Amino acid sequence: MQKSTIPFLLINCFLAILLVSCGSVTKNYTPKKLDKTAVEVPYFSDSKTDYVYKTNIAVYGNELSGIFIAKKINDTTHRIVFTTEFGNKLMDFEISENDFKVNSIVSELDRKILINTLKEDFRLLLKKQYLIQEQFENESSEIYKSKDGKRDNYIFISKKDQKIEKIVHSSKTKEKFTLFFNSENNIFAEKIQIIHQNIKLKIELNYFKSE
Amino acid sequence: MKTKIALLILFISGNLFAQEQKMTEAEIASFKQDVNVVAKKIKTLSTDFVQYKHLDFLSKDIETSGKMVFKEPSLLQWQYKKPYNYSIVFKNGKILINDEGKKSAVDIGNSKIFARINKLIIGSVSGNMFDDKEFTISYFKLKGQNLAKFIPKDATLKKYIKQIELTFDKEEATVVQVKLLESSEDYTRIVLKNKVINAKIDDSVFTN
């Protein structure tokens, strides 16, 4: 009897650890009292700014480079255009919280799975305000949790300089993709990375000043 | 439709007063000959360029600039230097890219269109583009300049490029501006300047 209990306990412990570890993406964060109910992300919010970035996309070992252009065209909607360095348009989207329109896309990129992935990425990238339901912290960041349908977004704000460092889009158990920001003034992001955890897709945006 | 396009071009260029006059048959023949004579002499060509990407919804054109080098019969390099380093080489039917030190072959999105534009640019310095079966070509006179407009015949190409316009200096009979109009009313305009013809250019320039 005694002999069989130990392995059984071990398995139980192991299962418990396993359940805890996939149980929540917030396992390493300490819950705390909400200090605000909304977080503003200003990086694409100015309707007067042409947001122009040199872009590299790595997808399953393929590299694609070009120019990413975003502009807020009205209160709710952004226009997103991706061109080659030479200037020809590869994609042209209009995107808001609830709407999405493909103005044009070259046939080589016209794949539903790609368009849907980019739609999700860009929608989060352009989102200006997140309503907060829960708050956590770790050593370096305040972490705000914002519900997004069946999923959640976690906004990380550094304790050191109060800058938005990253936004993690995740299901209840798994991180799906993360937006990383580098910003000097916290109004404008010089460098942005969109990294997917479940598929091999990485998008890097580097701001450039037109001459 | 023709007048509509012509009007649009006038509006887009913001150049309502630059009169665009259709060439007569005789003028077309003489223009083609002028370009041909100069083109035949061109063994190498290097030029600075400034590229203006115009998108209707932006408040300002996106400006990039660099250098273009051509060597007979079909070596071509486009090198962007500002605001980033990006270079593309057309060589032996291949397209080589150097993106801030990262090297690769061409992306699928570019190749077809690039190859045709490349052919057109090379064609315009070598003088055989006016016989191109791929385009419907019309000819115009401007002040001190000649203008040739190319409308793709191929439906696939037409989806991406509505029209290509090459502007020639009247005296030198070489290209000074390339304008690519996309299917929507957006365009890329490339201005060529500081042209040097027949300087010695080593083949090693065309490695990327």
Mean pLDDT score of chain A, rounded to an integer?
Answer: 88
Q: What is the pLDDT of residues A62-103, one digit of tens each?
A: 888 899 999 999 999 999 999 989 888 899 999 999 999 999
* Cα–Cα nearest to B163, from B179, B141, B146: B179
A68 strand-pairing partners: A53, A82
Chain A residues inside the 8 Å CB shell of B186: 89
Chain A residues inside the 8 Å CB shell of B184: 92, 103-104
Q: Mark A168-201 as b/e (b = at least 16 C-beta within 10 Å).
A: bbbeeeeebbbbbbebeeeebbeebbbbbeeeeb
Q: What's the rounded Cα separation, in Å, for the pair A31 and B99? A: 44
Q: How confident is the model at residue B88 (pLDDT cuts 50, 70, 90)?
A: confident
Q: Which two tokens stand for residue B57?
A: 């919804």
Residue B146, domain member (yes or no): yes
Q: How far is CA A157 from CA A150, A188, B58, B112, in A?
A: 23, 15, 31, 45
Q: How confident is the model at residue B15 (pLDDT cuts 50, 70, 90)?
A: very low
Question: What ipTM does this complex have?
Answer: 0.81
Q: Which two tokens stand for residue A13?
A: 């412990």
* Cα–Cα nearest to A127, from A72, A85, A65, A165: A72
Could you tell me if A87 lies within 8 Å of chain B, comparing CB atoms? yes
Answer for the pair B48, B77: CB distance below 8 angstroms, yes or no: no
Residue B54 region, left (φ>0) first, then alpha (ψ -120 to 50), else beta?
beta
Mean pLDDT score of chain B, rounded to an integer?
Answer: 82
Q: What is the pLDDT of residues A2-34, one digit of tens each?
A: 445 555 555 554 544 444 444 577 778 999 999
Map residue A55 onto helix, strand or coil: strand
Provide the pLDDT for residue B130: 76
Q: What's the rounded Cα separation, in Å, for the pair A185 and A193? A: 18
Whether A140 has a pLDDT exceeding 90, the answer reads: yes
- Structural domain span for residue B101: 24-206
Residue B18, domain member (yes or no): no
Q: What's the rounded Cα separation, in Å, for the pair A52 and A85? A: 12
Could you tell me if A71 lies within 8 Å of chain B, comparing CB atoms? yes
Q: Does residue A176 or residue B7 have the better pLDDT?
A: A176
Residue B2, domain member (yes or no): no
Q: What is the pLDDT of residues B118-134, one digit of tens each?
A: 676 677 655 567 767 88
The count of domains in chain B is: 1
Whether B58 has a pLDDT exceeding 70, the answer reads: yes
Task: Find the distance separating the first CA and the last CA of chain A, reported in whole Å.
Answer: 80
Could you tell me if A60 lies within 8 Å of chain B, comparing CB atoms? no
* Cα–Cα nearest to A81, from B13, B62, B189: B62
Please answer yes or no on whether B109 and A84 come within 8 Å at the CB atom. yes
Looking at residue B94, which CATH number applies to its domain?
2.50.20.10
Mutate to test the interface with A, among B82, B90, B186, B208 (most CBs of A within 10 A): B186
